[in-house]
Chains A and B, each alone.
Chain A
């Protein structure tokens, strides 16, 4: 059962981070290299989306 739900859950995490969670991170501090926290958050999540989807892919293959 966990196998069944894990791939969608893995995909949901970054999707929520980049949509519904935005009101929570709409701040300029702490900033990184002059970039507001909002932008740092968004870019960081985009970079890890492939890792989440790859993990979902591997789990699906094993199921």
Chain B
């Protein structure tokens, strides 16, 4: 076999095994919307851990973190920091979300807004924001997959066709298994990613003389590379803090993360899960070292091709089967998160637009069927969009995070402030988005503050102001809601 054939067949076999594992895990389950979208609210701490780690540690972690370490140095450390910040917040927030989810039968992220603020329109607005943030996240994974396949194929073929086939296969997999399949497929994905990342993070720096020698070599080639530029410089200290805070706050606001919270069988399972998730962040340290080692071993890649550095070095230094295992780990790190993202995007449209707004497909059987059909539709839509776009992985992700973090005031006020109204929360989200569009489209500089945070501040202020001038919601509903959140 040629090296490309060896590497690519390992990737293909691995993907098939993960799909098989997912089908095995989800076999014999009756596909109600409850089972399909939130796993019947039955997941314990272990399956939650796999699901959340599966959603979090994506091909972005795999390639983007190494690419950032390669291309920018210390700014990449932000990827180490935001996870633990997010879990510390999630420790308190996710059990509350699960509590109200179980009490009111919530299936999707936007359901939270519909129920708490008793507004179908607000649920629809949340669906819109969730959808436009999820689609870039899916395309991000496709870019990751494309990089992996083109490197594993030794550039002998255009991988875009293979990416399309992989995505549609995964859409079919989600169609058949729902959230439980995604959680089970994560078992193989997480195991393989840990092995690949630890192996690369140790053996690549070894060739330069170990971790210390690698860091010294980086510092020698690029003095000051391992600390942040001061103040408001591009990718400087202020950018760093802003990126950590936005990603940490936005983390559990993703529709698929809300679904993961609902899927827990108890608040306790979520808390125990949050305690142990930070350990997984240490994996990223290995990725960063692989990126630094790549910088020494193969300097000179610029811009978006920095994302390829780590895999190119693996290809140059290791036999094809090692390249194949690495690429397989990366491919699962792209495809498994995509399962949860496709499912979330399809669920919110089926439930909160078609069901709540238009009153169609309200019975269990047709709602599941519609969600399944939409999974395929969203996959095709993402694919078309992906053919038209292409940017640096981290940048895409930060845009999407800026969008979902706009849900935060509605969730926090939801539990803590009786006076918060549907008009207030809706106006806040719209104002936050307007601010994001303004800063993005006109290159408006908000004095070095992260645009997501600036938009979040505007959002919260508008939400508070408009809530105070509109009619107060019923106190009894709020008390009942808050009690359900005390889990």
Q: Is there a chain A Cβ closer than 8 Å to B325's Cβ?
A: no
Residue pair A38, B77 in contact (C-beta under 8 Å): yes
Residue pair A38, B285 in contact (C-beta under 8 Å): no
- Complex: A18 Cα to B89 Cα, angstroms: 13
Residue pair A20, B88 in contact (C-beta under 8 Å): no
Residues of A within 8 A of B85 (CB): 14-15, 18-19
**In residues 18-41 of chain B, which contact A (Cβ within 8 Å)?**
none
Q: Is there a chain A Cβ closer than 8 Å to B65's Cβ?
A: no
- Complex: A12 Cα to B92 Cα, angstroms: 11
Residue pair B228, A50 in contact (C-beta under 8 Å): no
Q: Is there a chain A Cβ closer than 8 Å to B444's Cβ?
A: no
How distant is B216 from chain A, measured CB to nearest CB, in Å?
5
- Complex: A55 Cα to B320 Cα, angstroms: 46
**A38 touching B278 in the complex, CB below 8 Å, given contacts A11-B88, A22-B241:** no
Q: How many B residues have CB within 8 A of the partner chain?
A: 40
Interface string of A17-39 (1 = CB under 8 A from B): 01110110011100001111011
Among A7, A19, A52, the most chain B Cβ lie within 10 Å of the Cβ of A19
- Complex: A14 Cα to B244 Cα, angstroms: 13
**In residues 80-97 of chain B, which contact A (Cβ within 8 Å)?**
80-81, 84-85, 87-89, 91-92
Does more than half of chain A's interface fall in helix, strand or loop, or is it mixed?
helix
Q: Is there a chain A Cβ closer than 8 Å to B387's Cβ?
A: no
- Complex: A52 Cα to B87 Cα, angstroms: 11
- Complex: A54 Cα to B272 Cα, angstroms: 8
Residue pair A23, B241 in contact (C-beta under 8 Å): yes
Residue pair A34, B216 in contact (C-beta under 8 Å): yes
How distant is A10 from chain B, measured CB to nearest CB, in Å?
9
Residue pair A38, B228 in contact (C-beta under 8 Å): yes
Residue pair B245, A19 in contact (C-beta under 8 Å): yes
Residue pair A20, B241 in contact (C-beta under 8 Å): yes
Q: Is there a chain A Cβ closer than 8 Å to B237's Cβ?
A: yes
Residues of B within 8 A of A60 (CB): 271
Residues of A within 8 A of B322 (CB): none
Residue pair A57, B226 in contact (C-beta under 8 Å): no
- Complex: A63 Cα to B285 Cα, angstroms: 36
Complex: chain A residue closest to B77, CB-CB: A42
Pick from B80, B91, B213, B226: contact of A43, CB under 8 Å: B80
Pick from A34, A36, A38, A47: contact of B211, CB under 8 Å: A34
Residue pair B240, A15 in contact (C-beta under 8 Å): no
How distant is A56 from chain B, measured CB to nearest CB, in Å?
7
- Complex: A38 Cα to B214 Cα, angstroms: 16
Q: Is there a chain A Cβ closer than 8 Å to B282's Cβ?
A: yes
**A46 touching B80 in the complex, CB below 8 Å, given contacts A23-B237, A26-B227, A53-B275:** yes
Residue pair A26, B237 in contact (C-beta under 8 Å): yes
**A39 touching B272 in the complex, CB below 8 Å, given contacts A15-B88, A22-B241, A46-B278:** no
**A53 touching B281 in the complex, CB below 8 Å, given contacts A22-B241, A28-B226:** no
Complex: chain B residue closest to A36, CB-CB: B226
7 A-B pairs within 8 Å (CB atoms) are namely A22-B228, A22-B240, A23-B241, A26-B227, A38-B228, A46-B278, A53-B88
Q: Which residues of B contact A (CB under 8 A)?
A: 74, 77, 80-81, 84-85, 87-89, 91-92, 211-216, 219, 224, 226-228, 230, 237-238, 240-241, 244-245, 248, 271-272, 274-276, 278-279, 281-282, 285
List 10 other contacts, CB 8 Å, given A38-B228, A43-B80: A14-B85, A15-B85, A15-B248, A22-B237, A26-B237, A28-B224, A28-B226, A38-B77, A46-B81, A49-B87
Top 6 A-B residue pairs of the complex, sorted by shortest distance between their CB atoms = A34-B212, A49-B278, A11-B88, A34-B215, A18-B81, A36-B226
